[in-house]
Amino acid sequence: MSMADAIRRFVPDGSTVALGLSLEPVIPFAAGHEMIRQERRDLELVGPISDALFDQLIGAGCVRRVTAAWVGNVSEGLGHCYRRACEQQVPRALDLRDHSNFSISLALWAAAWNVPSLPTRTLLGSDILSTNPGLVSAGGLVHVEAVRPDVAMVHVQRADEMGRAHAWGPMGITEEAGLAAGGVIVTCEELVDSSVTLSDPNRILFPETKVVAVVHEPGGAHPSPVQGFFQRDHAFYRDYAEQSRSVDGYDAWLKQWVLQMPDRATYLSRLDVDSLRITQHRPSVPVDYGDE
């Protein structure tokens, strides 16, 4: 399925969308940019930390609510669109549901297990309890209310047409978000035959019954890194941080890198992608599942 079709079919206005779930790596920027191009509105974004993508969606006016532990630009600091939205309601006001990294994970596990909440000892003594009604302190524990995304977006190294995704590297809160979500959109570097994915079922990220779309989108995580494929493009994050300091600068950036890009291939053609490609490889040793 094409990215445009996946977003059109599975991400209507008002959706609760989980993305950026592995923290800094494999952020589904291509999927985010397509949501901006299709002018999605009133989204609730769910994630642990967001490295620039939430900021871009907020600046484009797509977002009504943010349910997250951290929003900014990891190597550069503050998110300027996020600040403008929270401080000046530009381009619109945001409803914030503050979490810590641990509590947003628990909120998704609660939804995955279909229970109203899960208890934890984290956040005791934090004022985060006073700003998020979904965190309730009782009996010496904090009860973290379930957060159920309509859709989770993940970028992986490879997947097959049936939605069996192979991912490697740190997982952040990807698994609980996928299980909690109504459906998962998988974008991948390589679209492979099912004989590849099924050769290693332990590495399959989600049950195929959860996956609603598979999009073959090489480079779909740029500027974030993809283990074994791409380094992080630090300079791209720095340029975004500098340009997005002003509304005009952000608008120009958005026009150049999102609105005027018909698709991901065109976007990649404007970059020196080869300088980011990982060329030194370090394959793991295959495991033997046996055949009897």
Partner 1 sequence: MSSYTPQELMVAVASREIRDTDLVFVGMRLPVLAYGVARNAHAPNARGLFEVGLMRDQPATAFLGTMGDPPNVAGALWATRMSNVMALMAQGHVDLGFIGGAEVDRFGNLNTSYVGEPSRPKVKLPGSGGGADIAILSRRWVTLMSHERRRLVEKVSFVTSPGYGDGTLGWRKRHGLLGGGPAAIITTLCVLRFPDEGGEAYLASVHPGHTVDEVRAETGWQLKVARQVAETAAPTESELAAIRRFDPEGFWTRS
CB closer to partner 1 out of 38 and 75 = 75
Q: Which residue has the tokens 């899960």?
A: 118
Smallest distance from the beta carbon of 50 to partner 1, in angstroms? 9
The CA angle 230-239-245, to the nearest 5 degrees, is 140
The CB-of-38 to partner 1 minimum distance in angstroms stands at 27
Residue 64 makes CB contacts below 8 A (sequence gap 6+) with 14, 41, 42, 43, 44, 92, 94, 95
12/236 with CB nearer partner 1: 236
Backbone phi, then psi, for 4, in 5-degree steps?
A: -60, -45
Question: How far apart, in whole angstroms, are the C-alpha atoms of residue 226 and residue 139?
Answer: 43
CB-nearer residue toward partner 1: 25 or 219 = 25
Q: What tokens does 175 get? A: 């698994």
- How far is the C-alpha of 18 from the C-alpha of 29, rounded, in Å? 13
- Least separation, in Å, of the C-beta of 177 and partner 1? 10
In the chain, the amino acid numbered 45 is: L
Name which of 17 and 135 has its Cβ closer to partner 1: 135
Shortest separation between residue 208's beta carbon and partner 1, angstroms? 20
Using CB under 8 A, list all residues that contact partner 1. 22-25, 48-49, 51, 68-72, 74-75, 77-79, 82-83, 86-87, 98-103, 105-106, 109, 120-128, 130-131, 140-141, 168-176, 225, 227-228, 231-232, 234, 237, 278, 282
Sequence-separated (6 or more) residues with CB below 8 Å from residue 255: none
Closest approach of Cβ 161 to partner 1, in Å? 26
Q: How many CB atoms lie within 10 A of CB 85?
A: 23
Q: Which helix (H) or strand (E) holds 143?
A: strand 141-145
Cα separation, 184 vs 171, whole angstroms: 15
| Nearest-angstrom CA–CA distance, 9 and 272 | 32
Q: Is 216 left (phi over 0), alpha (psi -120 to 50) or beta?
A: beta
Count the residues in the chain: 292
Q: How far apart are CA 48 and CA 38, in angstroms?
A: 25
